[in-house]
Structure 1
Amino acid sequence: MKCVAYIRVSTDEQAKHGYSIAAQIERLEAYCVSQEWSLIDTFIDDGYSAKDLNRPQFKEMMNRIKNENIDVLLVYRLDRLTRSVLDLYEILKILDEHNCMFKSATEVYDTTNAMGRLFITLVAAIAQWERENTAERVKLGMEKKTKLGKWKGGMAPYGYKIVNKELEINEDEEPLIKYIFHLSRTLGFYSIAKKITEQGFTTRKGGDWHVDTVRDIANNPIYAGYLTFNDPKDSKKPPRQQTLYDGQHSRIVHREEFWSLQDILDKRRTFGGKRETSNYYFSSVLRCARCGSSMSGHKGSQGVKTYRCSGKKAGKKCTSHIIKEDNLVSTVLSSLEVITKQIIGDTTLNNISQQKITELENELKLIQKLMKKQKVMFENDVISINELIAKTENLRLQEKQLTEEIYNYQKANNTDTEEIKVILENIHSLWNDANDQERKQIISTIFNQLVIDTEDEYKRGTGASRKIIIVSAK
């Protein structure tokens, strides 16, 4: 009888159970001699799991069975062939169709009758259960490590390296991460990928940077000291929609910088990335006073940059005019003294905001102190890992909410106010020396919203510049 032998082994199995390739070959060759079978070929998949049939030598063997009248398929054990009940059914079906028997050298199976088929199916089901149960235990262990702030394992993200199973900053890669975060505030991810590739930066594998890789870095909370443990379907969601845990690793970017960037990226997702990263200075802040719609940048005749109401473009009844960017810039720069009072606001309100920030910071310190206390109790065996996770999850949620609230107050108070004051005091020199992206950043720093109108009603085809009225500024 013509026989083919199939051998599969993983490094882990070889170490734990001694299922070496040499040992399996020796046992199968001896079995063929004892049965007086002719072993015509041996197929070996080294380092492949039995979770599926996507194995090169297995596929080659099945093709031989289909085309060369093989009488017997011999394995050392059933789990060398498969650990999936459905895959086993598929294999046995093919063997039946081509009159090929199945035999294990260490187990008694007879696939020619119903009882033998039932027995082999039960064994395969147990093997599948064992594999899936192991996978669940591994997943649970990884989840617990994440909730404790430890690296769950796997390849370190760009910017980090693994030292003693924990994340440490890779000093060679850290500068590029910071550079990407800086560029992401004003440029789109495609432009960043192209820019850093042209500047000579390469990936770990020496290749060019891709837009998706840059996007993943800008949206990855790990650089701000967080860890995540998400279902695959949730892994691509924005950071604010993920469950974040406080990691023990060092941060590459400050959390304030990270969440500030997420505000910008969230706005791009809402309004469209091109509008937020284009070279039209006012495209992300400008609104039409007549209908309330946003105003988007467009290239007019002879390449002149203009703005028009997006509501009117979409068919909304609106009598707004097309605005030339040069005219708008002149109007805004000449009206800064009035605009400043609207933006900076009352000093008394700022003082109240600062008091609120102090209160929130004290509350945040108390929450963080409680979290550290829980970890100390766990390390001293006062509470179990499950109690630690249960008690700290609510504290982490409070920490996240307080951090965001503090950031929002700070954004509306001293930090941004001082930055705006410096810009306003030096606006003319800054504007003249800035490029398009820097000018756009100046406008987006000063304004969250700028509502404009024109003095006259709409008249078609006059070609004359209309006087622009700044209705409100935030």
Structure 2
Amino acid sequence: MKKIRCAIYTRKSSEEGLEQDFNSLHAQREACAAYILSQASEGWTLLPDEYDDGGLSGGTLERPALQRLMKDIEAGRIDIVIVYKVDRLSRSLLDFAKLVEAFDKANVSFVSVTQSFNTTNSMGRLTLNMLLSFAQFEREVTAERIRDKIAASKARGMWMGGNPPLGYKPDGRTLAIVEEHAEIVRHLFARYLDLGNVRLVACELTREGIIAPERIATTGRAIGGRPFTRGQIYKLLSNPIYIGEIHHKGQVHAGKHEAIIDRATWDSVQRMLAANLQGERSGGTAQSPSLLAGRVFDQHGEPLVAVHACKGKVRYRYYVSRSLQHDPDARSTDGLRIPALEIEAAVSQLLAEALDDPLALLAQAGIPLESDRLRMILKQAEQLATSIRGKQRDTIRDLVAKVAVQAREISVELSVTTLCTTLAVEHPADTQTSIPLTSPVRLTHTGRAIRLVQRDGRPVLQDRPDPGLVELLRKGRGWWQQLQNGTIDIATIAREEKVNDSWVSRLVRLNFLAPSIVKAILAGTQPASVSATSLRTASLPIDWDEQIALFGM
């Protein structure tokens, strides 16, 4: 008689009762062993290995004992798998279909002792699928009941488990305040109201030596014990738990726990967070994307971080040294804060000019050219240069591998791979990966920012007049006309404008600026030396030629 090797698999969803001398797993195994014994005349023999999964759900196949069972099946050590009920093996129809397919592949039968069928015949398969469908239905109904219970409990303001937020500890079905931690929470809200910036709050907490308190999560893992991150601060400032509320699927419920933050403070913080909201639009959908983010470095090889600031509805972008980003009060002479539009314009201009002579670029990269393709290459390069001058973001970003900002020049590493792909030129493996380009653009300080100016002193970016300079000219011209008419004097103007007399006098002098300087200001082509500060403070000579020389024009 052929010996048929039988393996018993048992499972229990919860760990409740597993510590008992005779538990559910033992009961299942005893019933299966008795069934195998009843089939001894057919050659059925129980294998000594035990495959028991205690405290594990049937909704997953990631169970240690089940994995061991499947490995033994693949090794050909088992002929029949015996279970007490079908849902002990799996409650998922999809997972069970995978198991049955694996059984069939290994010529292994499956038997349920309480449901009297196996998978060796078509009727057994049909019945099995039907029973399993009901098992899955029962599991889904149970899950719905649990979800409904959680929703009903939260509607009553109960805490339904999980890691409690900082400042609280579990207290049955509610939360109790941990006063030591609650003081940190109150301090965070207060500092944010004072500073209005999460980054500044994080920096200040680090300087003060305030770190996230170490706590033990529900999984037993230690959390905290480190400086607060921006993400942690954002999450903490927007958690409604701190005003005594519990939110569930868009519904707001009054919690049973005590609030740590008062309503007025909470509302002020939420308004400030909404006003300072950043990052909702990025990449191609951003109104003013940072074109060279992650590609700009200073003379020491340190990256410049893309940042922005909003004044009213206007968004100003900069590339800032990391030292200044983490410590805005730093006064390092090497720290850079470059207007983004200017350096992006300089890089775009450099790329476009280089592409005006594509053959020289390819020769610099050591790429041989076929004479019959020169016309096509020139045409492609012309189109590429046009798209760059048209500020095509993706084209510029793909071509630029790295930008280095030096004191008297900027250098750009142009990607040879991207260039060859765009110009439809084969890129030999032994050629260089980038082409160095340089532009004699120097840095000059204007207030806290650093401007990029060309060799003749004109700013790199000259797409529009400076509204501040234009306003100074307008005021100077208007006040001079009033003084000429004799209808008003300097003291009266100063009193009405709420400024001092010397301020009025300095602006009136602008009425005598050289016409070429005025024309340059109105066209936006004035050199960086012509600024609001220089016009107000410079000792302005009467002679126009001397004025032009004074401002380096």
Which TM-score band applies after superposition, normalised by the shorter structure? 0.5 to 0.7
Matched, 1:294 2:315: yes
Q: Give the structure 1 partner of residue 248 of structure 2.
A: 229
Tell me how far apart the structure 1 counterparts of residues 124 and 271 of structure 2 sit (CA, whole Å).
63
Larger Rg, first or second structure (1 or 2): 2
Tell me how far apart the structure 2 counterparts of residues 227 and 171 of structure 1 sit (CA, whole Å).
20
Contact 2:465–2:521 (CA under 8 A) maintained in structure 1: no
Q: Give the structure 1 partner of residue 532 of structure 2.
A: 466
Residue type of the alignment partner of 2:314: S
User: Secondary structure of 1:177's partner?
Assistant: helix
User: Secondary structure of 2:529's partner?
Assistant: coil
Q: 1:217 aligns with which of 236, 242, 265?
A: 236
Matched, 1:2 2:14: no
Q: Give the structure 2 partner of residue 76 of structure 1.
A: 84
Trace 1:156-167 onto structure 2 (pairs within 5 A): 156-167=164-175
Contact 1:156–1:162 (CA under 8 A) maintained in structure 2: yes
TM-fit CA distance, 1:142: 1.5
Q: 1:133 aligns with which of 136, 141, 150?
A: 141
User: Secondary structure of 1:269's partner?
Assistant: coil
| % same residue | 26
Tell me how far apart the structure 2 counterparts of residues 305 and 210 of structure 1 sit (CA, whole Å).
25
Residue type of the alignment partner of 1:224: I
TM-fit CA distance, 1:73: 0.8
User: Secondary structure of 1:168's partner?
Assistant: strand
Q: Give the structure 2 partner of residue 319 of structure 1.
A: 465
Tell me how far apart the structure 1 counterparts of residues 200 and 533 of structure 2 sit (CA, whole Å).
37
Give the structure with the larger helix fraction: 1
Name the CA shift for 1:322/1:45 in 2 (closer, same or farther; >3 Å): farther
Name the CA shift for 1:272/1:25 in 2 (closer, same or farther; >3 Å): closer
TM-fit CA distance, 1:102: 0.8
TM-fit CA distance, 1:61: 1.4
Matched, 1:60 2:85: no
User: Secondary structure of 2:532's partner?
Assistant: coil
Q: Give the structure 2 partner of residue 187 of structure 1.
A: 198
Contact 2:73–2:108 (CA under 8 A) maintained in structure 1: yes
Tell me how far apart the structure 1 counterparts of residues 258 and 52 of structure 2 sit (CA, whole Å).
45
Contact 1:151–1:166 (CA under 8 A) maintained in structure 2: yes
Contact 2:205–2:211 (CA under 8 A) maintained in structure 1: no
Q: Give the structure 1 partner of residue 539 of structure 2.
A: none
User: Secondary structure of 1:173's partner?
Assistant: helix
Tell me how far apart the structure 2 counterparts of residues 161 and 131 of structure 1 sit (CA, whole Å).
32
Name the CA shift for 1:140/1:114 in 2 (closer, same or farther; >3 Å): same
Tell me how far apart the structure 1 counterparts of residues 158 and 263 of structure 2 sit (CA, whole Å).
18
Q: Which has the higher contact order (CA 8 A, sep 6+)?
A: 1
Tell me how far apart the structure 1 counterparts of residues 53 and 200 of structure 2 sit (CA, whole Å).
41
Tell me how far apart the structure 2 counterparts of residues 196 and 63 of structure 1 sit (CA, whole Å).
56
Contact 1:162–1:168 (CA under 8 A) maintained in structure 2: yes
Contact 1:308–1:322 (CA under 8 A) maintained in structure 2: no
Matched, 1:259 2:267: yes
Tell me how far apart the structure 2 counterparts of residues 320 and 132 of structure 1 sit (CA, whole Å).
66
Name the CA shift for 1:105/1:157 in 2 (closer, same or farther; >3 Å): farther
TM-fit CA distance, 1:268: 3.1
Name the CA shift for 1:133/1:192 in 2 (closer, same or farther; >3 Å): farther
Tell me how far apart the structure 2 counterparts of residues 294 and 23 of structure 1 sit (CA, whole Å).
71
Contact 2:181–2:213 (CA under 8 A) maintained in structure 1: no
Tell me how far apart the structure 2 counterparts of residues 94 and 197 of structure 1 sit (CA, whole Å).
61
Residue type of the alignment partner of 1:125: S
Contact 2:198–2:234 (CA under 8 A) maintained in structure 1: no
User: Secondary structure of 1:295's partner?
Assistant: strand
Name the CA shift for 1:116/1:198 in 2 (closer, same or farther; >3 Å): farther
Name the CA shift for 1:246/1:192 in 2 (closer, same or farther; >3 Å): farther
Tell me how far apart the structure 2 counterparts of residues 307 and 263 of structure 1 sit (CA, whole Å).
30
TM-fit CA distance, 1:101: 0.9
TM-fit CA distance, 1:40: 3.7
TM-score after normalising by structure 2: 0.49
Q: Give the structure 2 partner of residue 237 of structure 1.
A: none
Tell me how far apart the structure 1 counterparts of residues 132 and 257 of structure 2 sit (CA, whole Å).
43
Name the CA shift for 1:78/1:299 in 2 (closer, same or farther; >3 Å): closer
Q: 1:28 aligns with which of 23, 29, 32?
A: 32
Residue type of the alignment partner of 2:238: N
Tell me how far apart the structure 1 counterparts of residues 532 and 163 of structure 2 sit (CA, whole Å).
59
Residue type of the alignment partner of 2:316: M
TM-fit CA distance, 1:27: 3.1
Tell me how far apart the structure 2 counterparts of residues 226 and 117 of structure 1 sit (CA, whole Å).
52
Tell me how far apart the structure 2 counterparts of residues 66 and 304 of structure 1 sit (CA, whole Å).
64
Q: State how many pairs are aligned.
A: 321
Residue type of the alignment partner of 2:197: T
Name the CA shift for 1:138/1:99 in 2 (closer, same or farther; >3 Å): same
TM-fit CA distance, 1:262: 2.1
User: Secondary structure of 1:128's partner?
Assistant: helix
Contact 2:318–2:340 (CA under 8 A) maintained in structure 1: no
User: Secondary structure of 2:246's partner?
Assistant: strand
Q: Give the structure 1 partner of residue 304 of structure 2.
A: none
Q: Deviations over 1:59-99 (max 9, x none)?
A: 22112111224101112222211111222211111111101
